[in-house]
Structure 1
């Protein structure tokens, strides 16, 4: 499927769409469909699900508009559907105060499930930046991710890149804390 036909971004705007992307299994299904279309059977094999479960989750994603059928073919009298993402990327709304960040929650679950003997680069850095530096760093990180996304080859193994640049909530001083 040519990715030139895909919209750049799908904006999650409804509760149904947010529920669809909030589920870790559906998040992993969308990761399978990131680079190439796949059938229910192929999705089930790659995610490690039963075909029935895979079909259920794909139907929810399709109903929410996040994936779509991009081609069909007849195989021994049965119509086989190939599903693909509805856009190159998905943009989630910012979580409300006190609400979990779905993207980061799923990323942490994927990181925890990744092979511990494989190469991983995980780092957290605390910085002090001006508003201009903060904005510039965010733009540079996004540009770097976009650059490597264009270099992605569906024949190579998956790699996940997650970054979060944010200003943490002000730390409340606890009695006895030294400043």
Structure 2
């Protein structure tokens, strides 16, 4: 599949190893900024317009993302003697690499992607436009890891899909251990 979005070069994946990086992606507005930058590079003014937020608020959140190494200036242009900066993500996919940073600090765990997806999907559910599956299976850690790798490939495919249409779709995917009843061995 062609690498259509976004309109600048970026890494495929970056491991988040510092608490500040995880805290940066744990904020709803910063997550939305990262999602917008997945489509194309944008200025703070463009982001503020899209988010319907003050430019100063958006500039603050872009700065937090930049200090965390999650966004960077990907190009500039002169507009009436002022240099306008276009920001882009540093990677298509960010993932939390470990429970602790290299310095031994605990990584923040105060966000849940499924909680966000549940909030975002409520209107689609009410409109009868929510598609979803939930399945349970007893599998080994190795099998779970293999499934996760395949799901990550699907997420990357979704991320690389050319942007078109009028509707933005959310895509939530996960794999988690849980307590679930099991049948006794067959006789």
- The two structures have a TM-score, normalised by structure 2, of 0.74
| Conserved? CA contact 1:27–1:106, under 8 Å | no
Deviations 1:14-67 (A, max 9, x none): 121121111111011100001210111111122221111111100111111100
CA distance in 2, matches of 1:44, 1:32: 11
RMSD over aligned CA atoms reads 2.9
Of the candidates 149, 153, 157, which is equivalent to residue 162 of structure 2? 153
1:51-90 counterparts in 2 under 5 A?
A: 51-90=55-94
Count of aligned residue pairs for this structure pair? 168
| Shift in CA distance, 64/139, structure 1 to aligned 2, threshold 3 Å | closer
Q: Structure 2 vs 1, CA of residues 60 and 115 (structure 1 numbering), >3 Å: closer, same or farther?
A: farther
Larger mean CA deviation between 13-22 and 54-63 belongs to 13-22
Assess, with a 3 A threshold, how the Cα gap between structure 1 residues 86 and 140 changes in structure 2: closer, same or farther: closer
Cα distance, 1:77 vs structure 2:
2.5
Between the aligned partners of 2:61 and 2:131, the Cα distance in structure 1 is 31
Provide the residue aligned with 2:150 in structure 1. Answer: 140
- Asked if the contact 2:71/2:88 (under 8 Å) is kept, the reply is yes
Unaligned runs of 5+ in 2: 1-5, 100-105, 181-187
1:166 is aligned to 2:166: no
Q: Aligned in 2, Cα 1:16/1:164: closer, same or farther, shift over 3 Å?
A: same
Q: TM-score of the superposition, structure 1-length normalised?
A: 0.77
Q: Is the contact between residue 92 and residue 159 of structure 2 (CA under 8 Å) also seen in structure 1? A: no
Within the alignment, does 1:26 sit opposite 2:35 as a pair? no
More relative contact order in 1 or in 2 (CA 8 Å, sep 6+)?
2
Q: 1:103: how far off?
A: 3.4
